[in-house]
Amino acid sequence: MVVSNRTETAVRCLRKRSRQIQTRTGAGITDGILHANMEEKRRDETKMDKMTYGTIEGVNKPVSRIFFGTAGTPFKNGGDASELLDGILALGINAIDTARVYGQSEKSIGDWIEKRGNRDRLVLLTKCCHPTPHWEKRVSEKEMRKDFARSSELLHTGYFDIYLLHRDDPEVPVGELVEAFNALHAEGKIGAFGGSNWTHERIDAANEYAYRRGLIPFTVSSPNYGLAEVRGDIWGGGSVSLSGPAQAEARTWYAETGMPVVAWSSLAAGFFSGRMKSTDAGRVGEFLDPYAQKGFAAADNFERLRRCEILAEKKGVQVPQVALSWLFHQKLNTYAVISTHSPARMEENIAALHLPLTEEECAWLNLM
Ligand SMILES: NC(=O)c1ccc[n+]([C@@H]2O[C@H](COP(=O)([O-])OP(=O)(O)OC[C@H]3O[C@@H](n4cnc5c(N)ncnc54)[C@H](OP(=O)(O)O)[C@@H]3O)[C@@H](O)[C@H]2O)c1
């Protein structure tokens, strides 16, 4: 496996800066809170103190280590998500993950941004160039710009902190895409950019192209990553995961480069919600949607869940907290994308950032 020296050096710098920011947990983002009631404000600040932040090159503010995932309800149906989003923001989560293809998600978020006037506080990540419903590929500068225009309209902003290609098309020369991203960046339309569901080899090739020409490289990637191992191409169109033994080489590349990983479905789409028990393998349909069943309901993952249950009981915490703590203990520069309908549950997820696990516990959870 070849790691480009320049990728390594550049992203190592990021890592150092990221650590510096994390030690200033929550600093600088409390000033926008509009609560009149001082007691409520004090309580919220205490909650926000628990959030931790990293840096992503190209994003001009600290980025919460948890991104709020908005692919499901109420977002995809265009419902009013204001209360939920207010609750999530009050926890110190400033990063939101959406995409052009998440139904009405961008509209829901955009309506809230417009109502609250809080665009400057947010790290907005959206994605472009998802394949058509018939899985025809759409990876090109033309489609990037077309999606950008529509996303901007719905999100009420002409600027995305992070802009990602939602899938790759290896038939498209990587240089074309690097040039297209650089053009959008030069026009002041995007900050950081990269791929979601891109292999590390293609990202490395993109960054070699960028370095040879003095262009800005990809500084963020969004694959699946979590304690559960995904079975196959869960969403279609070439979804990429870093989990499981087969992805060891990819994880080594990420560990060596420090490339930020915005890990989608980090609770395995609810597999680790704690609602489904490890003894429920025969009735997964009662707990998981068809995608989660197809992607995660396998014997090895049920064993991982059983081990989470044991550690959760021993430590007096919840199953999802153990699964998330495992993720945050890995060597990668990880941000977890998590969806929930409940700020209270998100608060538990944030607490997982501070839940200690030994190396032995981490290895045992992952069946090693
Ligand atoms: N880039 C891509 O290709 C891609 C693909 C898939 C997903 N994504 C992104 O990743 C986001 C998250 O993925 P996801 O929704 O599939 O899965 P997820 O975040 O791994 O899991 C969500 C599930 O976990 C439950 N949950 C969350 N916190 C909990 C807690 N503390 N206790 C108990 N249950 C808890 C939620 O239930 P409740 O809602 O009831 O709390 C929900 O059922 C998406 O919204 C999207 O933004 C990106």
Which residue's alpha carbon is nearest to atom 10 within ligand 1? 264
Whole-number Å distance, alpha carbon 249 to ligand 1 midpoint, is: 26
- Check if 320 has its Cβ closer than 6 Å to any atom of ligand 1: yes
Q: Is the pLDDT of residue 344 over 60?
A: yes
- Check if 192 has its Cβ closer than 6 Å to any atom of ligand 1: no
Provide the pLDDT confidence category of residue 361 given band limits of 50, 70 and 90: very high
Sorted by where each begins, the domain ranges of the chain are: 5-365
Provide the pLDDT confidence category of residue 10 given band limits of 50, 70 and 90: very low
DSSP reduced 3-state for 92: coil
Per-residue pLDDT tens over the stretch 246-298: 999 999 999 999 999 999 999 999 999 999 999 999 999 999 999 999 999 99
DSSP reduced 3-state for 63: strand
Q: Is the pLDDT of residue 213 over 70?
A: yes
- Check if 182 has its Cβ closer than 6 Å to any atom of ligand 1: no
- Percent of the chain with pLDDT strictly greater than 90: 86
Per-residue pLDDT at 41: 52
Rounded distance between C-alpha atoms, residue 95 and residue 73, angstroms: 18
Q: Is the pLDDT of residue 29 over 50?
A: no
Which residue's alpha carbon is nearest to atom 37 within ligand 1? 340
- Check if 97 has its Cβ closer than 6 Å to any atom of ligand 1: yes
- Percent of the chain with pLDDT strictly greater than 70: 87
Per-residue pLDDT at 294: 94
For 139, counting Cβ atoms within 10 Å of its Cβ (0-12 exposed, 13-18 middle, 19+ buried), the class is: buried
Whole-number Å distance, alpha carbon 270 to ligand 1 midpoint, is: 6
Per-residue pLDDT at 36: 38
Whole-number Å distance, alpha carbon 97 to ligand 1 midpoint, is: 11
Whole-number Å distance, alpha carbon 295 to ligand 1 midpoint, is: 14
Q: Which of 173, 19, 32 is closest to 90 using CA atoms? A: 32
Per-residue pLDDT tens over the stretch 40-57: 555 555 666 799 999 999
Cβ neighbour number for residue 21 with a 10 Å cutoff:
17
Q: Is the pLDDT of residue 329 over 90?
A: yes
Per-residue pLDDT tens over the stretch 83-111: 999 999 999 999 999 999 999 999 999 99
Per-residue pLDDT tens over the stretch 156-172: 999 999 999 999 999 99
Pocket test for ligand 1, best of 66, 264, 326 (most atoms within 8 A of CB): 264
| 3-class secondary structure per residue, 196-265 | ECCCHHHHHHHHHHHHHCCCCCCCEEECECCCCCCCCCCCCCCCCECCCHHHHHHHHHHHHHCCCEEEEC
Q: Is the pLDDT of residue 231 over 70?
A: yes
Which residue's alpha carbon is nearest to atom 13 within ligand 1? 265
Which residue's alpha carbon is nearest to atom 43 within ligand 1? 270
Per-residue pLDDT at 31: 30
CA distances to 161, 211, 220, 317 from 60, rounded to whole Å, are: 8, 22, 14, 35
Rounded distance between C-alpha atoms, residue 140 and residue 160, angstroms: 18
DSSP reduced 3-state for 335: strand
Per-residue pLDDT tens over the stretch 291-313: 999 999 999 999 999 999 999 99
Provide the pLDDT confidence category of residue 26 given band limits of 50, 70 and 90: very low
Whole-number Å distance, alpha carbon 69 to ligand 1 midpoint, is: 6
Amino acid in position 348: E
Per-residue pLDDT tens over the stretch 120-153: 999 999 999 999 999 999 999 999 999 999 999 9
Angle at 107 between CA 221 and CA 137, to 5 degrees: 45
Q: From the alpha carbon of 197, which atom of ligand 1 is closest?
A: 3
Rounded distance between C-alpha atoms, residue 181 and residue 241, angstroms: 23
pTM of the model: 0.90
Classify domain 5-365 at the CATH superfamily level. Answer: NADP-dependent oxidoreductase domain (3.20.20.100)
Whole-number Å distance, alpha carbon 339 to ligand 1 midpoint, is: 4
- Check if 265 has its Cβ closer than 6 Å to any atom of ligand 1: yes
Radius of gyration of the chain (CA): 20
Q: Is the pLDDT of residue 16 over 60?
A: no
Provide the pLDDT confidence category of residue 79 given band limits of 50, 70 and 90: confident
Whole-number Å distance, alpha carbon 175 to ligand 1 midpoint, is: 33
Provide the pLDDT confidence category of residue 15 given band limits of 50, 70 and 90: very low
Q: From the alpha carbon of 269, which atom of ligand 1 is closest?
A: 17
- What is the rounded average pLDDT of the residues 341-354? 97
Provide the pLDDT confidence category of residue 4 given band limits of 50, 70 and 90: very low
Average pLDDT, the chain: 90
Alpha helix (H) residue ranges in the chain: 5-22, 38-48, 82-89, 105-116, 141-155, 174-186, 200-212, 248-257, 290-296, 299-315, 319-328, 343-351, 359-365
**CB-CB contact of 335 with 302 (8 Å):** no
Whole-number Å distance, alpha carbon 341 to ligand 1 midpoint, is: 9
- Check if 347 has its Cβ closer than 6 Å to any atom of ligand 1: no
- Check if 337 has its Cβ closer than 6 Å to any atom of ligand 1: yes
Rounded distance between C-alpha atoms, residue 102 and residue 209, angstroms: 31
